[in-house]
Amino acid sequence: MTTTPARLRRTAPPPPARILHLGLGSFFRAHQAWYTATAPDAHSWGITAFTGRSTGLAESLTAQDGLYTLVKRWPEGDTASVVASVVAAHPGADTDAWVRAWRSRELAVVTLTVTEAGYLPNATVAERLVSGLAARRTAGGGPLAVVPCDNLPANGEVVRRVVTELAESVDPTLARWITDHVSFVTTMVDRITPATTPDDVNAAAELTGVADAAPVFTEPYTEWVLSGDFPAGRPLWEESGARFVADVEPHEQRKLWLLNGGHSLLAYAGSAVGHETVADAVTDPACRRWLDQWWDEAARYLPLPPTEITAYRGALLDRWANPRIQHRLAQIATDGSQKIPVRVLPVVRAARAAHRMPTGAIRILAAWIRHLHGAGAPVRDAGAAPFAAATSPRDVLALFDPALAADEDLVAALEDALRGH
């Protein structure tokens, strides 16, 4: 006799929705929602989450009361828990729910995971935030904190700038209200969370015996470093392992250059030699050599003790070698035009200022240019067109930064790398 699998259902009232999230996807559910759900005051902090546009995930989560299974993939096996912090899930197009959430007096924190491209001036994120803040002001709502959680340096400052500039152009009194009522928090986030596959959905059901249309698979490691004020309070995230610091920058540079820069190297150079996942590429001796060269170069400019950097590099190798995390290089390769400037170019500039030639960084740039012309992972990047149309390496550099294009030695080294020297 076959039995119908159990479904995820809440058995207790949900916590009040005091957090709003934009960018309901895998990473938010493995990271911010998990920190909230595992904090000792989880009963006081529920999350209303919105997708960018899609409807599927919001529908699946609504059908299971916002609950989902978080599977941690240890090298030796999986462990599962149910995350209960998401109390409502809406498609991004549900503007009524959006305005309602912003007008709520309970709302204290707004978190974001909208990809690097979401912070570009032509993206709709700033518009959505400004519309929400305007609705809040009209409703007489109180102060709150906006907490971006994308891989972007000084992400709090970036959001502050795009939101206040847009508000200023729409209604200068709204811009002043935002300055008085909204705190923009800067964060560094880390937890490798590949997109969930249909096989993962089956694996989660087998592991737990419960049908879940939207499980999330992630690595055991997690890190969250934050700096900024929370004028209306926040969950006790530090009890779940988050760190509150005066300056996020050194942590952010360590992570963006070593982890994300290393990922981009493998995504372009590793996929070009036939690798599909990070775990495959990192066990290839040639890729490891390229990685070590890039890490040695980037490490010179990190304002951190060498022992800390060495320990982080060792931890990264362990995390990436976990064969049970199927992190596809094609996923990491997306939106290179937004990622290269934050992951690679700061090291290029620092090296050139020190009269060094950053050969490891040049390898990443050359591999990315080849990728734009068909090598390795497919190109999925709305900003790629001008770079793909550039007729020389100098023109590619000029699109990023004219000062780099004026550096004759750097241009020559990039041309050499593209000729395969």
Contact residues for ligand NAD (CB under 6 A)? 22-28, 51-54, 113-116, 118, 123-125, 150-151, 189, 191-193, 195
Per CB under 6 A, which region of 13-21, 44-52, 133-141, 256-264 contacts ligand 44H? Answer: 256-264
- Cβ atoms of residues 200 and 231 within 8 Å: no
Q: Least CB distance from residue 151 to ligand 44H, whole Å?
A: 4
Q: Least CB distance from residue 418 to ligand 44H, whole Å?
A: 24
Candidates 151, 196, 208, 218: give the one binding ligand 44H (CB under 6 A). 151
In 3D space, the residue among 392, 7, 321, 345 whose CA is nearest the CA of residue 153 turns out to be 345
* Angle at 337 (CA atoms; ends 334, 342), nearest 5 degrees: 100
Q: Least CB distance from residue 142 to ligand NAD, whole Å?
A: 25
* Angle at 273 (CA atoms; ends 271, 277), nearest 5 degrees: 40
In 10 A of CB 341, how many CB atoms? 16
Q: Least CB distance from residue 242 to ligand 44H, whole Å?
A: 14
d(CA 261, CA 274): 19
Q: Which is nearer to ligand NAD, 11 or 122 (CB)?
A: 122
DSSP 255: I
Record the tokens describing residue 287, joined without a space: 């890729």
- Cα distances from 387 to residues 34, 270, 335, 356, 418, in angstroms, run 38, 21, 12, 25, 15
Q: Which is nearer to ligand 44H, 87 or 384 (CB)?
A: 384
d(CA 178, CA 130): 9
Q: Is 39 in the site for ligand 44H (CB under 6 A)?
A: no
Q: Least CB distance from residue 35 to ligand 44H, whole Å?
A: 14
d(CA 48, CA 23): 11
With CB under 5 to 8 Å by kind, the binding choice for 25 among ligand 44H, ligand NAD, none is ligand NAD
What region, left, alpha or beta, does residue 209 occupy, with left being phi > 0 and alpha being psi -120 to 50 degrees?
A: left
Per CB under 6 A, which region of 36-44, 125-133, 190-198, 350-358 contacts ligand 44H? Answer: 190-198
Q: Is 72 in the site for ligand 44H (CB under 6 A)?
A: no
| Sequence-separated (6 or more) residues with CB below 8 Å from residue 66 | 10, 14, 49, 84, 86, 87, 88, 89
Per CB under 6 A, which region of 9-17, 189-197, 305-313, 346-354 contacts ligand 44H? Answer: 189-197
- Cβ atoms of residues 386 and 336 within 8 Å: no
Q: Least CB distance from residue 332 to ligand NAD, whole Å?
A: 9
Q: Least CB distance from residue 57 to ligand 44H, whole Å?
A: 17
Q: Is 275 in the site for ligand 44H (CB under 6 A)?
A: no
Q: Which is nearer to ligand NAD, 188 or 414 (CB)?
A: 188
Per CB under 6 A, which region of 123-131, 137-145, 161-169, 188-196 contacts ligand 44H? Answer: 188-196
Interface residues with ligand 44H (CB under 6 A) are 116, 151, 190-192, 259-260, 263, 332, 334
